[in-house]
Structure 1
Amino acid sequence: MKLLYPTSLILDPSKISSSFPTISLHPYDVQSPTIPQDHHNADILITWTNSPQNLSYAVTNLHQLKWIQSLAAGPNDVLSAGFDSSKIKITTGSGLHDRTVAEHTLGLLLVAARRFHEMRDLQNQGKWPGHLGGPQPDRPKGSFRTLRDAKVTIWGFGNIAKTLTPHLVGLGASVVGVARREGIRDGIQVYGEDKLKEVLQGTDALVMILPGDKTTRHVLNKETLSWLPNHAWVVNVGRGTSVDEDALYEALEEGSIGGAALDVFETEPLPEGNKLYGAKNLVLSPHAAGGRPQGSEELIIENLAKFVKGEELKNLI
């Protein structure tokens, strides 16, 4: 059995080979438009930051593939390349990015609440941001200035949300979730999407961690944005397609929301000259929340053991 692993991150193949001596491991360049012909008989493909050309080549030429293990949180790139999950097992790296994305999200929320972006803007202009220093009102109503007593709504309450929530609660925030199914998750009230309007109307900061598929496309749009208070901030670390960027830009320019911090966009990189670069109270982050899968070898080994035994794989789509 042959396994191809990417050179786009540091993996220790000895950890894998010591557990599965009968599986031959071979590195490959994920940015190359081709894969060497002597690897066309691979059974397993591990992917991470593969170029679209590389994945398209794999679809066309790696006919013996039985399983693709993506180290990304979702399968979008693999499916977009043309792989058919009804014919090939496809598993994701869900769980590998929980800590890094949660940390980045917390950072964006603190930037928004403490106005670090305004301080830096004025610093670059050679001006003293005096209105942001000195005595400040404590938890002013109708304003997002601190996480203490702020209502943070997390739309898309999966593993990343569960990792983020204790940090928010520790800083005094009141956290609720929104998901397809209502219930209590890790002690947090999660509302169904049928209650979205009611939840958003009382939200100080909306964190979006939604997957990218046709059901979530532009779910944050002109209508749903209008449900937010005019001081509320939007933080998106899920998928760029979940936000109608034109509607968001309009809301920012009109001041109908307090601001936004985006780590993901419909088109990446965001094209030079895009109007979002100049939007009021918008913090741009270049898809930097994840990008550091943690525990990759452990996930690969766990799924290899299941694959060899014919058991259902972890994170199978």
Structure 2
Amino acid sequence: MKILLPDTMPLDPTLPEGWEAVVVDARAEIPAAHHDAAALVVWGSSRRHLASAADLPQLLLVQSLAAGVEGILAAGFSDDVVVATGAGLHSRTVGEHALALLLALVRRLPEAREAQERHVWSDELGGLQPLHPEGRLTTLLGARVLVWGFGSIGQTLAPMLQGLGAEVRGAARSAGTRAGVEVIAEADVAAALPDTDVLVNILPATERTAGIVGREVLAALPDHAILVNVGRGATVDQVALREALEAGTLGAAGLDVTESEPLPEGDPLWDAPHLLITPHGAGGRPVGADERIAANLRALVEGGEVLHPAAR
């Protein structure tokens, strides 16, 4: 049995007996010599690569190392092929990045950097400061954080925020308690927004979530609130976001994702005030990829349950 590994990152999973691993170019069509593959690992793979993989006659498993698998599902794999997501492989790095964006905005690091470039020691940014000034969030101590899309990443991020003194709640399709954190139902998000200092968006891109963080959501947040998006760019109405920042009805925003990537050079979003943009760098380095591949191969061989199968 053969598993095809991408050349986009070094991988060395422990394989079941009788399996061999072959590294292939993730940007090119799969060579005819490897059309007998039973499993395929996808990471940074091109549409051309995925299209050729969809025709592999003996394929049983596609293991993505990314949490989102929209591109894989769109390639047209047979329903007999199990598509497994990389859910959880990016929780620590994306959680870390979300925290970095938030702390940079709370502690006004972009403004400090600008002052440094001008060789200005800013009394506004330093010296004696109130802990909770009117109209601005300057600390996570006592900050009310709502994490919308409370999956693995949110559950990893929550204790980081709590360790810095924030009060954290999650929001998901159903209410309850997850990882010791109160989770409200999505139907109750609108009512929670006026009492939210920080909205962390980790929502996936679906028809339901397209532009869901729009004018109504942004208007419901306090004027000092901060938005952080490490989910998908399509979930945020970028025009509404820019307008809110320009009008001062939103305190600040940190985006690691945008609706179009790369964000076009001429897009006015670049120049929005109090906005920090990073180029989709929160993930990009799956943690535990070898172990996930090995576990799902064992499940395939032994007839067990594949971890994190994609909904088809």
Q: TM-score normalised by the shorter chain: which range applies?
A: over 0.9
Cross-structure match for 2:41: 46
Count of residues paired in the alignment: 310
Amino acid across the alignment from 2:291: E
1:80 maps to 2:74? yes
How far the C-alpha of 1:249 sits from its partner, in A, is: 1.1
How far the C-alpha of 1:35 sits from its partner, in A, is: 1.6
How far the C-alpha of 1:258 sits from its partner, in A, is: 0.5
Q: Is the 8 A contact 1:139 1:148 kept in 2?
A: no
Query: 2 CA distance for matches of 1:3 and 1:271?
Result: 38
Q: TM-score normalized by structure 1?
A: 0.94
Query: 2 CA distance for matches of 1:214 and 1:94?
Result: 20
How far the C-alpha of 1:266 sits from its partner, in A, is: 1.1
Q: Is the 8 A contact 1:67 1:90 kept in 2?
A: yes
1:176 maps to 2:177? no
Q: Is the 8 A contact 1:231 1:257 kept in 2?
A: yes
| Identity fraction in percent | 46
1:139 maps to 2:132? yes
Q: TM-score normalized by structure 2?
A: 0.96
Amino acid across the alignment from 1:22: G
Amino acid across the alignment from 1:194: A
How far the C-alpha of 1:72 sits from its partner, in A, is: 0.5
Cross-structure match for 1:223: 216
Cross-structure match for 1:3: 3
Query: 1 CA distance for matches of 2:5 and 2:171?
Result: 36
How far the C-alpha of 1:210 sits from its partner, in A, is: 0.8
Q: Deviations over 1:247-267 (max 9, x none)?
A: 111111111101110001111
How far the C-alpha of 1:5 sits from its partner, in A, is: 0.6
1:28 maps to 2:21? no
Cross-structure match for 2:191: 198
Instruction: For residue 190 of structure 2, give the secondary structure of its aligned residue in structure 1.
Output: helix
Amino acid across the alignment from 1:7: D
How far the C-alpha of 1:41 sits from its partner, in A, is: 2.0
Query: 2 CA distance for matches of 1:38 and 1:130?
Result: 67
Amino acid across the alignment from 1:9: M
**Superposed counterparts of 1:263-282, under 5 Å:** 263-282=256-275
Instruction: For residue 199 of structure 2, give the secondary structure of its aligned residue in structure 1.
Output: strand
Cross-structure match for 2:86: 93
Amino acid across the alignment from 2:66: A
Amino acid across the alignment from 2:61: W
Cross-structure match for 2:14: 16
Query: 1 CA distance for matches of 2:183 and 2:229?
Result: 18
Query: 1 CA distance for matches of 2:218 and 2:188?
Result: 15
How far the C-alpha of 1:141 sits from its partner, in A, is: 4.4
Post-superposition, which runs of at least 4 consecutive aligned residues in structure 1 deviate over 4 A? none
Query: 1 CA distance for matches of 2:73 and 2:240?
Result: 28
Query: 2 CA distance for matches of 1:143 and 1:66?
Result: 53
Query: 2 CA distance for matches of 1:120 and 1:80?
Result: 43
